[in-house]
Structure 1
Amino acid sequence: MSTEVIVVGAGPTGLMLGCELALAGVRTLIVERRHAPQPNSRALTLHPRSIELMDLRGLAPRFLGHGRTAHGWHFAGLDTQLDFTALDTRHGYTLFIPQARTETLLEERARELGVEILRGHEVVGVHQDAEGVEVDVRGPEGEQTVRARYVVGCDGGRSSAREAAGVGFPGTDETMTGILGDFAIVDRNDPALQRARARGVLIVPLDGNITLFVCIDPARMRVSAHEPVTLDEFRSSLRSLCGSDCGIDEPRWLSRFGNATRLAERYRAGRILLAGDAAHIHFPAGGQGLNTGLQDAMNLGWKLAAEVHGWAPPGLLDSYDTERRPVGQAVTENTEVQTLLAELTLVDQYARPAAALRELIDELLGMEVVNRCLAGRVSALDTGYPPAGANADALIGRRMPDIGLTAAASNATRANELLLHGRFALLDFAGDEALRPAVETGWAERVNTVTVTQHDDHPELEGVTEVLVRPDGHVAWASRSSDTDARRTERTAALADWAGLSKDALPTPRSGA
């Protein structure tokens, strides 16, 4: 069988995208230059929206079984934490889980779904034409060329796919760096550990008695991210920050990271698309990078599958760029704000005004409305996609609340369970007996239709008679009309706009399209 989509990069974004495409029946190949999965901790957190996405596909228990939760999270390292429990979600917490474990779990799922993963192979050329994309791949046995209908670059900040597509990557170079490392030996009884935390050092116990340290040393924060980190440097930086090296030894991994911030000029160039770090890079403030990449993949997967299968409405695939690029821009902007707060604190000449600024923002975070606003942004629970039309219902574009429900002809007990197979869900709150057969006649393979009785208290759903939920959990269309005929007309238009023409109206797919 021929490959329909090639994903470049087997990091969290590429693996998540592979899962989504395969779930939708797309033949997918992931090409990865590394010979083995990521062994290091790297990114450490899954935020509430990312856990919701896993929940939408029935994967949340896998991840929760390999991490630990914390109900608060930080903004720029300030004392007053963001309260995720105050947000409208069943997953009001951060999940601490090393990136290595996240990749392992996603790779297991991808292989279950039949995704082919080609490790130890580097993409050295990408060439697109009107009918598809050719990818030149170099591996242990030499070079080969693989052809697919689309290519998605999930291959990081120096993306070869982005370069081949000719997509610009404007932004700012690094002005500050920090260091991180996984250590097998740490003096856990050293009181300096608490002093280190008070000086902004992140210290996280991991599986296998490994401890992650992350810090920014004012004396070393202008060192290039390309300069290797040594154990002696790490010890020296800890001593300068807290008076002790905390007994660190036997490093398993050392790295330096910077605050270079860039955003791709567009996320699609013909048959080449970009996601994750290939589309946006920034300082790891708030741990948002990996999470944003996973959310890119969830938005793109079903749209690209629709295009491959030939039922995508006009403009659906382009909506990936129009919906996700503004999110990438918002993330780069809030990480720049957090980085600036950290940097000003570390520079002696700004110490006093920086401390006053941090105290002011910390005080503001104590206000519920401010805390909820920033918690929504960092957790990505406030991510919504602007609806078309000035009179669109307020629900459209927002996350569908994971309401508890009773449902006829369904075993689902809550809304998220209706999306396990990556199809649309049409929720009928009006008890319209003619709805299900009408929808199944044209869209049965793409839309699950369920008559439900909501039993959770969600004021935003008051008066709603029907809701069409996208495969990524966002609301595509909602109606509050009690007029059955008017609602039928609106519904048919919404289904055509989002789930394509009914199967009887679809053209025969072209074999090479």
Structure 2
Amino acid sequence: MTDPVIVVGAGPTGLMLACELGLAGAPVVVLDRRDTPDPRSPGQAVNAAVMELLEQRGLADELRESGLPLPGAHFSLLWLRPELVAGPHRVGGGLLVPQARLADVLERRARALGVDIRRGQEVTQLRQSAGSVTLRLRTADGESTLRGSYVVAADGANSTVRTLAGIGFPGGGWTVSGIVGDVVADLSEVAVNHLGAHYTASGGVYSGAPAGPGTLRVITTLFGDLPAGPAAGTGEVAQEELQREIEELTGRRLPAREVVWAERFTSVSGNAECYRAGRVFLAGDAAHSFYPLGGLRLSTCLQDAVNLGWKLAADLAGWAPPGLLDTYHAERHPEGERARLALDAQLALMHPAARAAGARSLVADLSRFEDVNRYLVELVTGVDLRYRLGADGAAGSVDPDPVLGGRVPGAAPLLHDGRGLLLLSDAAAGTGGASSRTAEGWSDRIATASASAAGETGSALLRPDGHVVWAEGSGGLEAALKNWFGAPR
């Protein structure tokens, strides 16, 4: 029997990865050091890129039932105009929804797919061999060991697995501190400056968004030196401390009837040296970490999970072409760094406030240009992701075709089963089905559908994560099939 993939961390990244593996029929065990799911997740929104990923797996509608449309998009809280961006991606399609709700949706899907989720399991040691990885675990009942084919660290910015694997985590120097919590309040009594996201005159950030009936999720961020004493680092804070920061940022106290919970958080900017060390992979915050502004951090994390999941499953199923697992670092490490630098740039437009004022004014003026607005909107919503592929669909080359490496949002309903997808144009279908016949040897790994069903006109081959690796006129279909889906049956 094949050893399972062990995913360490039952947050959104780990659970999304578990869903991808489970969908492909790969054995997977998820470990988490907490005894129960954490309801105190700081995230309060998901952006358009996350919704596209969830659409691909049929999960978006369930999340929409408990979310509210995310109003607008911003770069460093300079508001942009997503409604002016034409194209296939729904750049304004984000949701206001607590991250804990997303984790709940993903966990229920993972369990339905047969994923083994074990809580109260803390990793203390890691040992690799040529064909497996063994973890030593601490539990309430004592210590135990667990062997897996691969281990994926999805255990956060302070990843234990990353440290045990000896992977460095160089940073960019930004360390940001703030408070996140839920308060009970009558939203009709809440002032306008206590709702929405704001860059304040003091040079900090405040945001308030509904987190449930009569509940407001609030987040404060004060830049500069981290607080000293008991408030330093992370941990619970008193109601008065939360109110003091809210008043400093907004100019008035929040009419809160009760603070349900409030914790101080710190966010460090960093990107791991590598996303793979032998049979250990890094994903999510364990791979890259930066200030969670506008949903880009979460979408970058889930893109890791969707990129890696099908590749690990292909390896365990025995059909992965040589080097497929290496494409994970090659594709995702640059994207982790790009997202981190995008957030660092936004922080540089915030602090120190007096020095950043001129740059903020300039960027606000530039964003009025259509091309600049488009670029920034697509960057902060995460929908501009496009991997670099060559004419034969191989990874790591200069793109000869603007379609290769990108996504086809209209194909999302056709990707629910987690297989690859060959879209056939009407012309291709009318020439005797040459493309269909070429793909017959891979029919256990890819499905076939009309391009018009995805709102497209040309033929294209999509990987299970939705990215195009071949398009009509870009090279040979058979070469692309072999590059990404291995040898035919």
Letter in 1 for 2:371: V
Q: What are the within-5 Å matches in structure 2 for residues 23-42 of structure 1?
A: 23-42=23-42
Q: What are the within-5 Å matches in structure 2 for residues 73-472 of structure 1?
A: 73-80=73-80, 82-83=82-83, 86-90=86-90, 92-185=92-185, 188-189=188-189, 191=191, 193=193, 197=198, 199=200, 200-217=205-222, 222-223=227-228, 224-226=232-234, 228-345=236-353, 351=354, 353-388=355-390, 389=397, 392-402=400-410, 415-429=411-425, 430-431=428-429, 432-435=431-434, 438-439=437-438, 441-453=440-452, 456=455, 464=458, 466-472=459-465
Residue number in structure 2 paired with 1:506: none
Partners in 1 of 2:321 and 2:454 — Cα distance?
34
Does the 8 A contact of 1:41 with 1:182 survive in 2? no
Over residues 407-449 of structure 1, what are the superposed CA-to-partner deviations in whole Å (9 max), with x where a residue is unaligned? Answer: xxxxxxxx22221111111112111434476346421110112
SS in 2 for 1:26: coil
Identical-residue share of aligned pairs (%): 39
> Gaps spanning 5+ residues in structure 1: where?
346-350, 403-414, 482-486, 504-513
Partners in 1 of 2:74 and 2:436 — Cα distance?
49
Does the 8 A contact of 1:82 with 1:365 survive in 2? no
Residue number in structure 1 paired with 2:68: 68
Does the 8 A contact of 1:48 with 1:380 survive in 2? yes
Does the 8 A contact of 2:186 with 2:214 survive in 1? no
Residue number in structure 2 paired with 1:499: 485
Partners in 1 of 2:280 and 2:5 — Cα distance?
10
Over residues 163-214 of structure 1, what are the superposed CA-to-partner deviations in whole Å (9 max), with x where a residue is unaligned? Answer: 1211111114554422222112467425474599573421111113211111
Q: Quote how far apart the aligned CAs of 1:264 are.
A: 0.6
Partners in 1 of 2:318 and 2:377 — Cα distance?
39
Distance 1:398 1:245, change over 3 A: same
Partners in 1 of 2:5 and 2:434 — Cα distance?
35
Partners in 1 of 2:211 and 2:375 — Cα distance?
31
Distance 1:390 1:331, change over 3 A: closer
- CA-atom RMSD in angstroms: 2.4
Letter in 2 for 1:216: T
Does the 8 A contact of 1:84 with 1:92 survive in 2? no
Letter in 2 for 1:443: W
Distance 1:190 1:117, change over 3 A: closer
Partners in 1 of 2:345 and 2:364 — Cα distance?
14
Letter in 1 for 2:212: D
SS in 1 for 2:351: helix
Distance 1:183 1:497, change over 3 A: same
Does the 8 A contact of 1:85 with 1:93 survive in 2? no
Distance 1:442 1:243, change over 3 A: closer
Greater gyration radius? 1
Does the 8 A contact of 1:496 with 1:502 survive in 2? yes
Distance 1:63 1:53, change over 3 A: same
Q: Quote how far apart the aligned CAs of 1:374 are.
A: 0.8
User: Number of aligned pairs?
Assistant: 472
Partners in 1 of 2:112 and 2:437 — Cα distance?
34
Distance 1:222 1:339, change over 3 A: farther
Q: TM-score, normalised by structure 1?
A: 0.86
Q: Quote how far apart the aligned CAs of 1:4 are.
A: 1.8
Partners in 2 of 1:451 and 1:175 — Cα distance?
49
Distance 1:226 1:441, change over 3 A: closer
Q: Quote how far apart the aligned CAs of 1:286 are.
A: 2.2
Partners in 1 of 2:173 and 2:399 — Cα distance?
42
Does the 8 A contact of 2:2 with 2:316 survive in 1? no
Does the 8 A contact of 1:443 with 1:502 survive in 2? yes
> Gaps spanning 5+ residues in structure 2: where?
391-396
Q: Quote how far apart the aligned CAs of 1:26 are.
A: 0.3
Moved more, 204-213 or 385-394: 385-394
Moved more, 136-145 or 253-262: 253-262
Over residues 227-286 of structure 1, what are the superposed CA-to-partner deviations in whole Å (9 max), with x where a residue is unaligned? Answer: 653211112222333343222242222122334211010111111001000001111122
Partners in 2 of 1:112 and 1:259 — Cα distance?
33
Distance 1:240 1:220, change over 3 A: farther
Distance 1:173 1:393, change over 3 A: closer
Partners in 2 of 1:186 and 1:401 — Cα distance?
39
Partners in 2 of 1:144 and 1:227 — Cα distance?
29
SS in 2 for 1:201: strand
Does the 8 A contact of 1:427 with 1:450 survive in 2? yes
Q: TM-score, normalised by structure 2?
A: 0.90
